Amino acid sequence: MAWAVLATQALTASAATSSPNDPWFASGHQWGLTQAGFPSAWCASTGAGALIAVIDGGVDFSHPDLAGKQVGSMVVQSGQVVPGEASTDHGHATHVAGIAAADSNNGIGMAGAAPSARLYSVQMLFAGGQGTSTDLATAIRFVTEAVAPTWPGPVILNISVGATTGSTPPEVASAISEAYSRGLGVALAAGDSPGASGYASMGGQAMVVGALGPGGGVASYSPTGGVNVFAAGGENQGSTNVGTGIISTYTGGQYAWLTGTSMATPHVAAALALLMSAGLTNGQAYQRIEATENPGGGLRIDRALGSTGGCGGVAAAPPPPAPAPARPAPVRAAPVRVVPPVTAAAPAPASVQTAPPASAPTAVPAAAPAAPTPVSAPYDESTHPAPAPGALAAGAVTPPTGFQTLLATTSAGARTEPGRLSLAAAAGFAIAYGCSLVLHRRLTRGRVRA
């Protein structure tokens, strides 16, 4: 069986190309693959025989670029493991799966980083990206103890899931240690907060992955402490990441731009697939990756495989379909956490497209916030309600005079404590003045009569 896997690898490598005809790759939008040297690396290995287990929120294998990639799907919840996929938003996991191993050189969509690898989905995140550390540990142990022993080639865990406790939960650390000891490769998302990664303690048994922007620098949100390697995770430009994020498969047969170490991690999982399918152990693959990184720690899988040239020809690609308008990807509501919780990194603003555009996508400007109305405007003792929207827009407003001025002044002044005091004094003066005026008139009338 092992011989058959190696023979398949050799056949795949001989037919490999560093210039696949997938439109998103051919148009230059998959900058993360080029940044890490994947096109040249494909001349030496495409990950044939490797299995990448995506432990996340469930993969939508109905996507055309993931067709034929599925080996299995399981759901882990409350410690129970059952076959299938739970009905929930599978966008995050589908995006991760496409980066790692989408079908390549098929003339549609995008190219996967390990195009010949297969995929196994283990869902332990549900609505809103909610899950528990217990279920994460159960998912890792399931792949380690039930899936890997039956798979003839190398198995890699992609865990784009971060602990919100600030450190690796003990049960998760134990499960990762067991996976490593049994020969599995492990790629962990470092998290999306600068500083030290919550997985820093796992650096010897897993590849803890930070994120790079399109310019090659560490992304603004990426941790740097405890990180073994950096790979393309994308960067936001203002309110959009179109073109500067990572494009990949999404639910409903679409493609989306997302940003985060969640997106960097499948690049490294794919690199492990390429190295381990070429005969390296998990520990040897870790060492090779770290020994061939860029000076800043960036992944260079071409150097790791000793393949820095090109190969193959460019297959004829069908004309790309008309671009679809960009629209925001679904935004997940903040989940109610179960302690201790784990959650996928929240995606940055994304655009979903059904096909690659003929030119660089144009960012959709964010809608201007609605102006507050008198009903919803804040009010307290020191502020006044906002004027009606039409009052200022109508142009000149006739200023109040005479008694109107008094009413306007007293009405506004009554809303503050000093105003109330001034108003009380004015009222007392007015009463005294009125009494004296009445007395004066009576005296005057008396004099006239006399």
Catalytic residues: 56, 92, 262
Q: Report the alpha-carbon distance of residue 245 to residue 5 in Å, rounded.
A: 35
Contact 27, 323 (CB under 8 A): no
The phi and psi torsions of 6 (rounded to 5 degrees) equal -65, -35
Instruction: Give the helix ranges, DSSP H, for 15-90.
Output: 23-26, 31-35, 38-41
Q: Report the alpha-carbon distance of residue 99 to residue 29 in Å, rounded.
A: 13
Paired with 155 in beta bridges are 51
The phi and psi torsions of 240 (rounded to 5 degrees) equal -135, 160
Contact 371, 247 (CB under 8 A): no
The phi and psi torsions of 325 (rounded to 5 degrees) equal -65, 140
Q: Report the alpha-carbon distance of residue 25 to residue 113 in Å, rounded.
A: 11
Q: Report the alpha-carbon distance of residue 414 to residue 427 in Å, rounded.
A: 12
How crowded is residue 128: how many other Cβ atoms within 10 Å of its Cβ?
Answer: 18
